[in-house]
Amino acid sequence: MKTVLVFLFAIIFLGPVRGADLKGIPTVTDADTVVISGSTIRLDGIDAPESDQVCLDKNGKNWSCGIAARDALVKQFGLVEWTCRTTGQETYSRRLATCFAGEENINQWLVRTGWAMSFVRYSHRYDPDEEAARGACIGLWEGSFHAPWDWRRRSCQTEIRGCLMVPIDAQDKLCGPRAIPPDPNCTIKATVRSSECVYHLEGGHFYGALIMSGSSKRWFCTEAEAKAAGCRRAKR
């Protein structure tokens, strides 16, 4: 009896068992974050651009690559059932998982098609897929971009990547603040700090006064996306 009680205590207070499967049709918030049956899932081993990230296309023009990456994932797998094998828990209580559509490894597909990068800080399992995408100049690699982990803390010295020669003015175009949303439908403003993230909707008390300069500011397209990133709504 004592053993059973200890086991139940572990389930209740330590969260889901490592390796548990989640199944369902996802709500895609960005190219590496989805919600299935109320659980927010961060795709393990990869890092994709945030929905407000801006890259340069093959012609050196500004390109809303975060939205393009998200839309590519939705187009390919947005209407089918996923099976996500959880491997742990990440910041903001998001579950880390490797997800599949049938036999297709979705994490791997995103890197292999150039819409995400191998998250080498934590894993090298998708390094060969990234090299293949870079060699083919597809997805993000078609143009020039900051690695997602660099973009979140970008400055005018941040490394710019690409499969071909990076345009000479790429740094000037990519290092500055995003004064306008990357898409007319992405108008939610947020301030992201290490202690908390707060987002503001149009018409909110502080919305107009919030200046979107610096890497601590983010644009979101939906409240679900902001919440999936660990943000809370401003109180007024």
Q: Cα 183 to chain center, whole Å?
A: 16
Q: What pLDDT score does 176 carry?
A: 63
* Structural contact between residues 199 and 190, judged by C-beta atoms closer than 8 angstroms: yes
> What's the predicted TM-score (pTM) here?
0.75
Angle at 206 between CA 230 and CA 233, to 5 degrees: 25
Q: What pLDDT score does 90 carry?
A: 80
Q: What pLDDT score does 91 carry?
A: 67
Which pLDDT band holds residue 1 (cuts at 50, 70, 90)?
very low
Cα separation of 25 and 49, whole Å?
A: 22
Q: Which two tokens stand for residue 165?
A: 């020669």
Q: What pLDDT score does 177 carry?
A: 59
Q: What pLDDT score does 19 carry?
A: 54
pLDDT digits 0-9 by tens, 218-233: 888 888 888 888 889 9
pLDDT digits 0-9 by tens, 177-196: 566 777 778 888 888 887 78
pLDDT digits 0-9 by tens, 113-143: 999 999 999 999 999 999 999 999 999 999 9
pLDDT digits 0-9 by tens, 59-93: 999 899 999 999 999 999 999 999 999 998 886 67
- pLDDT score of 236 more than 90: no
Q: What pLDDT score does 228 carry?
A: 81
Q: What pLDDT score does 179 carry?
A: 64
| Domains, the chain, with CATH or none | 12-176 (2.40.50.90), 177-236 (no CATH)
- pLDDT score of 207 more than 60: yes
Instruction: Indicate the DSSP class of residue 231.
Output: -
pLDDT digits 0-9 by tens, 2-57: 444 433 333 333 344 445 699 999 999 999 999 998 999 999 999 999 888 889 99
Q: Which of helix, strand or coil describes residue 224?
A: helix
* H helix and E strand count, the chain: 7, 17
| Averaged pLDDT, 162-171 | 83
Q: Which of helix, strand or coil describes residue 13?
A: helix
Q: What's the whole-number average pLDDT of the chain?
A: 85
- Residue whose token pair is 């910041």: 91
